[in-house]
Every structure is written in structure tokens, then in C-alpha cells.
Chain A
Amino acid sequence: MSAAVSNFPIIAIITFFLGAFLIALIGRLNKVLRNVLVFISVTVPLVLMCLLIKPVMTDGQIVAYWMGNWAPVSDWAIGIGIEVDALGLFFGLIVTLAAFVSALYSFTYMNRDDSLENYYTLFLMLSGALLGLTQSGDLFNIFVMIEIMTMTIVALTAFRVDYDGALEGGLKYMVVGSIGSTCLLVGIAMTYRQLHTLNLAQIASKLPGNMNAVTIAAFAFLLVGFITKASLFPFHPIEADAQTVAPASISLMISGVITKCGVYGLIRVCYNLFQNIDAPSVEILITGFGALSCFICVTMAFNQHNFKRLLAFHSISQVGYVIAAAGLGTALGLNAGLYHAMNHLLFKGLLFLCAGAVEYAAGTLDLDRLGGLSKKMPKTCALFLIGAASISGLPPFNGFASKWLIYQASFEKGVSSGNFYFVVICVICLISSVLTLASFVKVSQSVFFGQLNPEFEDTKEVPAAMRIPMWILAVLCIVTGLFPNQVMKYVTGPAANAAINVGTYIDTMLGQNTAAEYGIASQATTEIGKIGIWSPVSWLLLLLIITCAVCLVSVIEDPKKTTEEERFEYNKSKGRIAKFSRDGFKAAGKELPEAENAPAEEYDKPGHHRNPVLSGSTMTFTGERDPKYEVFFSGEMPEYSQVGGSDLFWGFKHSWRRYFSYWRKWHSGIVNDYVLYGVAALAFVLLYAVLFV
């Protein structure tokens, strides 16, 4: 390990914070200077993280760095350590990529807001905190970073104070999030009391041999803390509220990264610190939380009327998938979970940016009012379709690959453990997938397709500067979907192995053979099976061949078609355009029915004001466009009639009305209730941990 490389993580973290302070100082002076500063401070960490890929992911090294060179003294870690293994780097990459894309998008998206220097200061602090969290080798440092993250995200959620519910969303996030922070602090304190250390590697080496009632309680507290940060089931309403009101670029950070930090914490705690993920009781608890959030949130998303709120519920649902897979405790499961975590950032980020683009262009996110925007914003629509296909798991996009792995992993776990519970998890995941598809059908019908609301007639496509970050995510969605085996081999595989091989983690930090002293066996790198059964590239080739064959057959010369204009010209040349009005009807050579001789104002009444005109072999009307190219309306005059938003999926919603009305009451919007649910969850986990773990 070269000395330069070991400095990369700390430089990356410092760059974010330094950028934040510089912008706070000079961001007010010049807009261009500010944007350049922001760009530099998000690009440098991304580059540094990418430079780490080779040594850490490919060569399997672990970057260790002691702050101020306070190395361990007689095997006791006294300084603050930064330790980046493949798992940390994986999440670090997620953070830096999200920050990069989000900042790039903000330059245009946020240009209608003021006091942007505050926004970017907070944004960079948030990114720095998130990166620090994933790179840190110290439990208390993780807590500090989480606190910075919570404070900045509360401020950013409420950044657009004029938004309806922005302050409320921020407040709820702060209050309920503080339960999680408190739990974490209590858990850390209990661990520290037991082991007298805060270094992750040292805890990992000492803890498994020292399990007692206090450490089990600490486990429960840490678990609930990270579940709050991942916004799993009983904590999800705050997440939904926050993501709805936050600017889209921040919603991306909340859904793509902050929830991932909860996931990261859970994986660290269960796989590394306590190493009790193999215990069936822990597996059942964690996958249960995952599957429950997965299903409840996907059904909740069904009933939303706000684009971003719908996406917010889906975020939690997808994080539920991640947790359900990671909680299986198998290498394949963890791999699937990490793969899905990465994919979730890509497709959900893309979808949030699309939502932001719609908001930017049309000024609203109301699913009951929008519609038909695909004609006005075709490029955004294409990007949205990529995102929607990915999240619904349609092959060959990335969501399919990771979901496939999740099904495989959970069913395999069920079979190998003989526990039907995991089969239920598998079924819940499969059903949630089709429900996800349903709600994205709802979004595409009520935002991009269907009929265009006349209010949005002059909507314009968003500027290219906003579409570039979206394209980055979209291309990544396609690439990670097309090459699942490579992704597993080079990205998620090493990360999963790093999480499982805790011995190496301890040894790197505390010196050789420390792990062996504490009886922690260094596991061999597990080779995770390929998705050999599914090769998207060859399928795509096949699809291409077949579609070409179909097209060859279908390209038969068409009979000469007439366009609307030609039809009109033709009829005009034949003298067949004639008004059946009171003075001009004779031109058609036909008699005017007496009823047409009504007074002039009668023509303006519905049903009378349209004068039939001969056109082609059949007639059309003057005063309205050629009905041939109108939507079929059972012969009525076309009018705005959009089937979208809450009109969809009637049969399903009807059958589930009791379920929906129950959950509707449950999401009361009152912060006291949400705190109560949080405390109840804490009590449940504590009780469960004491009884079963």
C-alpha cells in the first residue's frame, strides 16, 4: 500500500468540508466562482474514490489511516482511524457519485431559488458527512457524521420554506430522526462500557467473545438506530414527508444515499461487529423488517397523488429489498443486496431527477392534474421510461439483475435452512415487484402519457444541463444491467467478501494475527455464482435480430396515405369544401336541412355551431380540426378527459379498500404518532433481542 493511496479517503472527506467552508465564505460574491468551487469539491472526491477502485476492489487491499498518526499502542486503538475496505469503498462510491450528479443537476435546477450559497454549503457538508460515515473506522465518528448528516438534511429539506409542508417535513425528520440518533448513542455507550474501545476493528475482534445481556441490548439499540437511518417500516413516514418537500436534488441524496448509510451501518453491525448474522433469529428479524417495508411501502405508493411522494415510498420499498437480501446472511444474499443498493441509487436518482424536471417545467407534481407531457418533454420522457423500466425490474435493465439475485438468494436460503419463512420473503419480493411496476405504469400514464391538460400547453423541455446528469444515471442503469456478471465480479463481489471476511479487516487495522488471537477465523474468499443463466447481451442481440426480421416483413409498401393537409387540399380542389351555413350551402350542391336555418347565435350552442363540410368521402366540420385524427370519443367532440392519477387500478383498489383505509389512518401525519411507532419498534426489537438473540 503506497502512502499516497492511504491518504485518499481523508483528502476526499476534507475536500467536501473545505468546499463547504469556502462557499460559506465567498459563495456570496460571485455566482460562477461558487459553481466552480462546488464542481471542484464534488469532482475531486469522486476521482479519488475511483482511483481507490484498483487497489481496494481489484487487489483486495484495505486502506488504513490513523488520524494524526495515532497508531495503536499495545494493541489498543487510541486514535481515530479511517479504514476503507471494499464495502466502505462501495458505499463511498455511491456517495460521491450521488453528490456529483446532484450538484451537476442543482446548477440549473436550483437557479430559481435564492441564498444558494447556503444550499451548497449544506449540501457539501451533507456529502462530506456521508462520505466520512462510510470511510470511518471508528464507531463514535460514525455517530458524529450521522449527526452532521441529520442536521444538514433537516435544513435542506426545509430549504424551500415557501413550499407547503417543507418546514413540517424538516421538523418531523428531526424529531423522529433523533430517536435513531439517541438509540445509536445509547448503543455506542453500552458497547464502549463493555469493551473500552470505539475502534470498529477492535470491537469486531473483542465483541464476539464477550456477548452478554448488555451487548445484546447494545446490538438492539444500534440496530434500531440504523433502521431509523434506513427509514425502514415504522420510521418510513418521515422519509416520505421529507423527500416530497425537499428539492429533487436533495430527494436524490435522501433516497439514494442517506438510506444507504443505514444499510451500510446494518451490514457493518451485523456482519462485522457482532458477527451474529448467521443466527437464525437475527436473520428473521432483519429480513422481516426488510420485507415488511418492501410490501407496505409499495402498496402505500399506489395511493399517492404526488409524483415525488410516490417515489419516496418506493425508495423505502427498494431499501426494504436491500435489507431483506442483506439480512439473509449468505454471500449471494449480501451480493444481491449490495447490487440492488447500487441500482437503487441509479434508477431512483434518475426518477427523482425526472420528477424535478417535471416540476421545473410544469410547476406541479400533482398526478391528478398532469398528463400527456411526453409530447412536450420527449427527452425527459425517454429518461423516465429507462428509470421506470429499471425499478420495475424489466430485463435487460439493472433492476432485473439484482431482483433476480434477490429471489434466487432468498429461495435458496429457504431451501437450505428448511425455513418456509424465507420462501414467504421471496414471494413478498416477487409480488412487490409487480406492484412497483403497477405504480410506475400509473406515473407514466398520469404524467407523461394520456391527454395533455390544457393548463400545461406551453410546457417546455428542460435545459440540456439538467438532462446531462440524468443521462449519466441512465447510461449507468443500462450498463450495470447489461453486464451483471462483471458488476458482480468487480464491484459487489469484493464488497460482499470484504463484509464477510472480518478477519482481514481486523488484521489490517491492528496488525497481523490479531484476529486469530481472538479466535476469529479468516474466511476464504467465497466465489459467488454468476448469473450465467441470464445473459442480457446475447438476449439483446437476439431481440435485435428478431425485431429486424419482423421489420423486414412489415416494411411492405404502404398504399399512398393521405395526411390531414392533403385531405383538405384534395377536397378543396374538388370543390367539396363547402359550408353548410345559411348563405353558402348551395356550393355543395345539396339542400340544407331546415333545422340548419336556425338563427346565427344558435350555431354557437353546443351541438349546433359545427357546420358539416364534405371532406373525402365523408364529411368533416369547419370550426374543428379534422376528426379523423382526433382520439375516438364515441363520436363526441374531443375534450380533455384524462384517465390517470387516482382513476387507475380500480378493481385492485376496490378489493383492498379495507387494507388501504387502515394504512391511511396509520399514516396520520401527526409527529407524536410517528414517535410512538418508533418507540414501539425499539421496544419490540429490544424484547426480541433479549428473548431470542
Chain B
Amino acid sequence: MFQNLIDKSMKKSPWLFHINAGSCNGCDIELVSVLTPRYDAERFGFHLTGTPRQADIVVVSGPITMQSRDRLIRTLAQVPEPKCVVSLGSCPRSGNVFKGSFAIDGPLEKYTHVDVSIGGCTPKPEAIVAGLAKAASILEEKRKAMRKGGIEAVRKMEAEAEKPDAETSGSTADAPAGEKAVKEAK
């Protein structure tokens, strides 16, 4: 019973940790606007924490610059399981306007499994809230999987979601949208 309660509350209290991997600050501002009175993500229990140890959802913005890469990898490793990684904006998935730069070392998938990606340059706050809500429900499923099969089950779930034709939950592969945005920008 207690375990079921915990599973349910996973979805209701997802705490965010935000990593700026070389973002232009546009997405960061939009993420903060999600917590303002107008959108008020806190009503879903979202809460920005200051340390990866307490985070459930890691929000990564920016095209992963060479300078931020090592820091990103270390910080991601420090988040306790179960966790979700959300890429914010087009940069982490595609590099966006920075694609091809000598200074970036993306995309984010190279370093971690990405559960939800929110496309756009920058995404609208509504899209961010929707993406985060999706991440929260993935979090609950991951917790359930983890309870039954340990960490391996979570990995399996992630691997299934990574398959190109996967119908399973997670991974709203929004990278193409990002690519489109890049082309438009160009």
C-alpha cells in the first residue's frame, strides 16, 4: 500500500534541476516563466531545487558546449534514480543554429537517455508545462518498473523507448521539429 502511495506521489511532486549547457538564455527565461503566477507549474508540485541530489527531472537547455560537457555528464550522474531527463529547446537535440560549431559537442543523446524533449526555439511555456507533465508521468512508470525489476528494468524501458518505431511511452521525438526550426532560422 505504502509502495503504491509512493508510486502515485512520484508524479505529484517532481522536482526540477536545470542545467544550462551553453544555452543562449532564452529557454532558461521561459523555464522560469513557467513558475510565475501566469503559468504556475507549482500547482502540479513542480519545484526548482538547487542540487541534483534532490532532483527528479533534469532539464537541460543549450547545445552542450565543450566547456559544459564534462560538467553536464557529472551532474547527470549525480541524480538519484528514478530520474527523467528533459531536453529544453531545440539545441540539446540538434545543435540548432550552433550545429557544426567547433565548440559544441552535442547532441544530448550521446551522453544520456532523453525521456522527453521539448522542441522549439524557444518553446512556449505551455509546451514546457506539457512536456514536464509528461516527464512526471514517465517518472511514475520508471518508479514502478524500478520497484519490480530494479534499475535494469528502467534501463530496458529506456532502451525500448529509444527504438525508432517504439510505441511505448516516453520520448516524444521532437528533434525533427528542432531541425525544422534550425532550417527556418537559417
Contact = CB atoms under 8 A, between A and B. Distances in A.
Contacts of A621: 70, 73-74
A619 B53 CA distance: 17
Contacts of A593: 105
A632 B112 CA distance: 19
B78 A562 contact: no
B51 A632 contact: yes
A627 B78 contact: yes
A616 B155 contact: yes
A212 B78 CA distance: 78
Nearest to B64: A593
Contact of A570 (B70, B146, B152): B152
B77 A627 contact: yes
Interface string A551-590: 0000011011110000000100000000000000000001
A635 B21 CA distance: 11
Interface in B1-15: 2-3, 6
Interface stretch (A50-58, A122-130, A342-350, A607-615): A607-615
B51 A595 contact: no
Contact of A618 (B67, B68, B76, B154): B76
A492 interface: no
B70 A610 contact: yes
A616 B158 CA distance: 11
B74 A627 contact: yes
Contacts of B2: 556
A607 B70 contact: yes
Interface string B56-74: 0000000000111111111
Interface centre among B3, B110, B149 (most CB of A within 10 A): B110
Interface in B128-159: 143, 146-147, 149-152, 154-155, 158
Interface residues of B, number: 37
Contacts of A619: 73, 76-77, 111-112
A30 interface: no
Q: What does DSSP make chain A's interface, helix, strand, loop or mixed?
A: loop
A485 interface: no
Contacts of A59: none
Interface residues of A, number: 31
Interface in B32-57: 51-53
A252 B140 CA distance: 58
Contacts of A114: none
Given A560-B150, A630-B78, A635-B70, A618 B3 contact: no
Interface string A395-433: 000000000000000000000000000000000000000
B143 to A, nearest CB: 8
A78 B75 CA distance: 83
Nearest to A594: B102
Interface of A: 556-557, 559-562, 570, 590, 593-595, 607, 610, 612, 615-621, 626-628, 630, 632-637
10 contacts: A559-B151, A560-B146, A560-B150, A595-B102, A612-B69, A619-B73, A619-B77, A621-B70, A628-B77, A630-B74
Interface of B: 2-3, 6, 19, 51-53, 66-78, 81, 102, 105, 110-113, 143, 146-147, 149-152, 154-155, 158
Q: Please give me the 10 A-B residue pairs with the lowest Cβ-Cβ distance, nearest first.
A: A635-B71, A560-B150, A627-B74, A618-B112, A618-B76, A617-B113, A628-B77, A635-B75, A559-B146, A627-B77
